[in-house]
Chains A and B, each alone.
Chain A
């Protein structure tokens, strides 16, 4: 048992690093792309700043088509594109690509929903002051919705962490792969439990940080 763990700890540590790498990169790239997509969804909505039925309709349908695809299927479905973009369909980097894409689509809805809560009067006031649409997006919409956006991204972190558990499917490693390979498949429940504990700790820390940050920007 002891000898077992002396080899397992470094593997767990490595898996932890891989998960963190996948989640961080997916959240950064997918998060930013999703912010843009979510803003586009919001401003092109009928009655909003850059209302455009056609653009909104297309974006809305695309997001609705992609989001319900089970992620495990999405990874394989996107394989040919991943091959073009990353050069391989195997390994951590190959997994980060579909993860980022799905993150972007998931983020877009969360961003859109949080923006809907903004008082349209504030946007009107900015328009009355002569602010351009781009200025209103960057200096009114995003700052005014910042607290719920932070909580939204915290929620996304956990969702992305969840999705990253199946990275092992294409040899992407990570905590999920570690728990399945060294725990589940070897009947070593201790490994599963320890991995779950690590994930719980990560989630708790991130949630705590998100709450703290959201409270601070609310100026309560």
Chain B
């Protein structure tokens, strides 16, 4: 990491939001065929954060992100980038602002007629950098993304992950303060996705860029984002800290997306099979940061002399914090189980699934199952 790369944070002043959307709508077409791709969205993206926008295809998230760098213009409302209102700004001024906003794409969108170095140099040419400075900057950027040895290769000769690295280097060339990532990992395999996400994390941590991540994969949100907005039919139906959205999703769409990423709770089918194997009382215990429900569970089992065996579950991380649940079968007389559950409920999120004879449905499993609509 050299000094010049880190200068890119200069434009982001603390306090001013990086991006503010105020009552933004975007309609395509007119009359009967009009499609409202973005419908009255208000959002604030804080400087320096990684902000996720998740939604199914057609939810309007790609249009939303294009309003930020004015590739699309709003039909109503206003877009404010680092204090500058883009609404009604002349094309020349907009071009200047675009240079402060990097963008990467699902299909990479590299210029096939240019080498890797040529691609990274392109935005510098647009910004009229002198030739010698361009060469130094390109070398530095390729070094940052780990592709120094590919400078003279053509995009055709690269793998998907390498292409996206070139895309990232190109997007960082003019030291932008904001990076827009439009489904940047959707065309990549899981391992390459991890590499690219790690690189984006470095871009955020080392260079201080505000990153807006558009995705349909909740795993991307889980491992990368600080905050997330869930979009459906052009509207933002839920917005908040990623951890909060994961632990208590309220909108249907948010619950479905959490379900695609977390597989700690048994689906109705899995629960039916569990009941065949484990006829006793089944309960699902949530595991959260701070609440020491994991250790509490076992201490209380001992204390109330209840036999418990773990039958399902998983604990992983959301935003580097522990998150998940375990499902246990309890074997003991009813009154001891009741006392145990009463004690546990004061310390953890407990879902009672009943017994094989008297089953109780998990209110969330119907929504989280499979994740598909």
List residues of chain A with CB under 8 Å of any chain B CB.
119, 121-122, 124-132, 135, 139-140, 143-144, 146, 217, 219-220
Known: A129-B98, A219-B156. A124 touches B111 (CB 8 A): no
Rounded to whole angstroms, the CA-CA distance of A144 and B95 in the bound complex is 22
- Of all chain B residues, the one with the shortest Cβ separation from A118 is B112
- B194 interface residue, CB < 8 Å from A? no
Which residues from B are CB-within-8-Å of A121? 105, 107, 109
Q: List 13 A-B contacts (CB under 8 A).
A: A122-B109, A122-B110, A122-B112, A126-B111, A127-B71, A128-B101, A128-B180, A129-B99, A130-B123, A131-B126, A132-B95, A143-B114, A146-B113
Rounded to whole angstroms, the CA-CA distance of A131 and B122 in the bound complex is 9
Which one of B101, B103, B127, B156 lies within 8 Å of A125 (CB-CB)?
B103
Within the complex, the shortest CB–CB distance from A170 to chain B, in Å, comes to 42
The A-contacting residues of B in range 83-97, CB under 8 angstroms, are 95-97
Rounded to whole angstroms, the CA-CA distance of A132 and B128 in the bound complex is 12
Within the complex, the shortest CB–CB distance from B16 to chain A, in Å, comes to 21
Rounded to whole angstroms, the CA-CA distance of A156 and B114 in the bound complex is 26
Known: A121-B107, A124-B71, A219-B154. A129 touches B113 (CB 8 A): no
Within the complex, the shortest CB–CB distance from A74 to chain B, in Å, comes to 35
- Of all chain A residues, the one with the shortest Cβ separation from B99 is A130
Which residues from B are CB-within-8-Å of A143? 111, 113-114
Which residues from A are CB-within-8-Å of B98? 127-130
Which residues from B are CB-within-8-Å of A119? 107, 109
Which residues from A are CB-within-8-Å of B112? 122, 144, 219
Rounded to whole angstroms, the CA-CA distance of A130 and B92 in the bound complex is 9
Which one of B99, B107, B109, B126 lies within 8 Å of A135 (CB-CB)?
B126
Within the complex, the shortest CB–CB distance from B133 to chain A, in Å, comes to 17
Which residues from A are CB-within-8-Å of B126? 126, 129-131, 135
Which residues from B are CB-within-8-Å of A122? 109-112
Known: A143-B113, A219-B154. A128 touches B95 (CB 8 A): no
- B175 interface residue, CB < 8 Å from A? no
- Of all chain B residues, the one with the shortest Cβ separation from A220 is B156
Which one of B102, B107, B111 lies within 8 Å of A140 (CB-CB)?
B111
List residues of chain B with CB under 8 Å of any chain A CB.
69, 71, 95-99, 101-103, 105, 107, 109-114, 122-123, 125-127, 154, 156-157, 170, 174, 180
Instruction: Assess the A129–B111 pair: CB atoms within 8 A.
Output: no
Which one of B71, B96, B110, B113 lies within 8 Å of A128 (CB-CB)?
B71
Rounded to whole angstroms, the CA-CA distance of A173 and B105 in the bound complex is 56
Which residues from A are CB-within-8-Å of B123? 129-130
Rounded to whole angstroms, the CA-CA distance of A219 and B109 in the bound complex is 17
The 9 closest A-B pairs by CB, nearest first: A125-B109, A130-B98, A121-B109, A143-B113, A128-B103, A129-B123, A130-B95, A130-B99, A219-B154
Which residues from B are CB-within-8-Å of A130? 95-99, 123, 126-127
- Of all chain B residues, the one with the shortest Cβ separation from A147 is B113
- Of all chain B residues, the one with the shortest Cβ separation from A123 is B109
In addition to A119-B107, A139-B122, 7 A-B residue pairs with Cβ atoms within 8 Å of each other are A122-B109, A126-B126, A128-B69, A128-B98, A129-B98, A130-B96, A135-B126
Rounded to whole angstroms, the CA-CA distance of A89 and B62 in the bound complex is 59
Rounded to whole angstroms, the CA-CA distance of A143 and B126 in the bound complex is 16
Which residues from A are CB-within-8-Å of B109? 119, 121-122, 124-125
Which one of A125, A132, A135, A217 lies within 8 Å of B113 (CB-CB)?
A217
Known: A121-B109, A144-B111, A144-B113. A126 touches B122 (CB 8 A): yes
Within the complex, the shortest CB–CB distance from A204 to chain B, in Å, comes to 28
Which residues from B are CB-within-8-Å of A144? 111-113
Rounded to whole angstroms, the CA-CA distance of A217 and B292 in the bound complex is 63
- Of all chain B residues, the one with the shortest Cβ separation from A140 is B111
Within the complex, the shortest CB–CB distance from A101 to chain B, in Å, comes to 31
Instruction: Assess the A125–B95 pair: CB atoms within 8 A.
Output: no
Within the complex, the shortest CB–CB distance from B81 to chain A, in Å, comes to 13
Which one of A125, A131, A132, A139 lies within 8 Å of B105 (CB-CB)?
A125
Rounded to whole angstroms, the CA-CA distance of A128 and B95 in the bound complex is 8
Within the complex, the shortest CB–CB distance from B67 to chain A, in Å, comes to 12
Rounded to whole angstroms, the CA-CA distance of A121 and B108 in the bound complex is 8
Within the complex, the shortest CB–CB distance from B51 to chain A, in Å, comes to 18
Most chain A Cβ neighbours within 10 Å, of B96, B98, B102, B126 = B126
Rounded to whole angstroms, the CA-CA distance of A219 and B158 in the bound complex is 13
Rounded to whole angstroms, the CA-CA distance of A217 and B114 in the bound complex is 10
Which residues from A are CB-within-8-Å of B156? 219-220
Which residues from A are CB-within-8-Å of B174? 129
Rounded to whole angstroms, the CA-CA distance of A129 and B107 in the bound complex is 16
Which residues from B are CB-within-8-Å of A132? 95
- Of all chain A residues, the one with the shortest Cβ separation from B122 is A129
